[in-house]
Chains A and B, each alone.
Chain A
Amino acid sequence: MSSENLGGVIITGSARGIGRAIADHLAQTGYGIVIADLDESAGTRAAAEIQKAGGNALFRHVNVADRKSVAAAVMACEEAFGFIHAIVNNAGFNRPQHFLETTEDNWNKIMTINGLGVLIGMQEAAKAMIAAGHKGKIVNTASIASRSGDAEWVPYCASKAAVVSMTQAGAKALAQHGINVNAFAPGVVQTDLWTQLDKDLMDMGISSRPGEAMQNFSQNIPLGRTSTPQDVVGTVAFLISPASNYMTGQCLMIDGGMIMQ
């Protein structure tokens, strides 16, 4: 590893799950990491664990829908690590409801975090990159739900389709500044999101035992298994590295072949 300063990467929703795995990996590569999350205790612990493993990380309490907290995290990233090289707009959640029972409140909460949260993250990071004259990278977490709607979580699907669309718009808007914007679309990943989703689906009567919902959803994965956060990490690293300098506006499926298009 060279002594060149790689700069900092903000990862939203990185106290746990996919975000945490990305944070660990990028810290090992030599990026400074800002764990941007709502969960203060898990987030501080994540930063401490990364530090203990030899990386550079700090925690900032961030609500991705609150522009001030996102802007503060960007500033903290610049102060700690010199400049912001990338943001991974990963924070997101699901709360399934039957299609005919989906409420405005459910829609608004999910679209705000999963949708508006990604827009704000792109904007605040891009402003800093442009001011610093740094050709940075923006990576957004999409989903197989971006490409295929499901009856039990229509706001989630809409929000993840929005991520793809915003990735394209962001790519067009920021190309002139040398900033690449791409998304990655995981399939079924073994994280707390799915643990909760599995439980929610049981409560809705869609499945009758723990693990059943995830299993049903995962039946026809060509690669024959659900994924772990580790499976996703290599693709995000690729999208943050110079190896992907000619890619922008794209959504990379990392789903074991669930959706081929």
Chain B
Amino acid sequence: MSGARLAILTGAAGHIGRATVEKFAATGWSLVITDVSAAVDEIASTAAGKHGTTVIGVQADIAAEEGVMEVTAAAEGTGVPVTFLGLIAGINHEAAPVDQIDMNVWDRVLSINLRANVLMMKHCVPLLRKSGGGAIATTSSWWGRAAHPYFSAYCASKAGVIALTQSAAGELAPHIRVNSVAPGNVGTPMHYDALEVEARERRIPVAEMQEIEWAKIPLGRPAEPAEIAAAFHFLASPESSYLTGAVLDVNGGCGFY
């Protein structure tokens, strides 16, 4: 691909985010990366130094419109055409039966996982249009394809992401493609925390909970974050130029749809 091009990536300080920053920086993309965590600045400067490409970190809360606008301002400030938006930021929550849900938790999960995505699309689509088009990739989950007990907010938000992806794909075609990556189990703290929490709820040892969950994975293991990053990279590349409204299920075979 000739010419400078810029990608905006959210959730950049998480494990999938970091791996995606690394993959994009290593393949010549300029980047504006954002996260609530202050670590995003160090991640940006490390990637810029290592790969010799522009990487700007913006610590911001994209649940709020002001935070989103800080990110888009940073992107516009570079003068490099924005051609990709990677919406990776997402949170999980404590296991809770539906009759005991803390509605503040529900609101927060839906806000970050779903609402912030549409807020980012709202503000970034004009940038993509200005560049003559591009692509957007969201992060769903195998738990958005088929839901699990005790995690209704997470599952509902991730199912919502797929619907949002497809609505946007239909609207923004033909110049902006919108697709989703639906990871399965990824070997990150979020995964291991969820195992612990569910183990506690079921009153069984964590090791047994892990065995139960990993036995459901034909490939027998969770993904490396880099394997999820590879899917985002594919969706940002010309190799995927005829895909829109599609969901890439990168899940080791734990679910088929």
Contact = CB atoms under 8 A, between A and B. Distances in A.
Interface residues on B, range: 35 or more
Given A171-B218, A175-B219, A246-B227, A253 B252 contact: no
Interface in A197-218: none
A222 B169 contact: yes
A254 B247 CA distance: 10
Contact of A248 (B219, B230, B245, B257): B219
A250 B228 CA distance: 15
Interface in B181-223: 184, 218-220, 223
Contacts of B238: 234
Contacts of A232: 242
Interface in A55-81: none
B219 A231 contact: no
Contacts of A17: none
A259 B243 CA distance: 10
B249 interface: yes
A260 B234 contact: no
Contacts of B231: 243-244, 247
A238 B224 CA distance: 17
Interface string B113-144: 00000000000000000000000000000000
B224 A246 contact: yes
A256 interface: yes
Contacts of A171: 218, 253, 256
Contacts of A168: 256
B219 A257 contact: no
Interface string A220-260: 00111101000110110110000111111110111111011
A246 B223 contact: yes
Contact of B245 (A225, A227, A257): A257
Contact of B240 (A234, A249, A260): A234
B219 A246 contact: yes
A98 interface: no
Contacts of A257: 169-170, 173, 243-246
B174 interface: yes
Q: Which of A171, A238, A257 is packed against the most chain B CB atoms within 10 Å?
A: A257
B253 A223 contact: no
Given A168-B256, A222-B174, A260-B166, A247 B243 contact: no
14 contacts: A171-B253, A175-B220, A187-B242, A223-B174, A223-B244, A224-B173, A224-B174, A234-B240, A235-B243, A243-B230, A248-B218, A248-B252, A252-B248, A253-B245
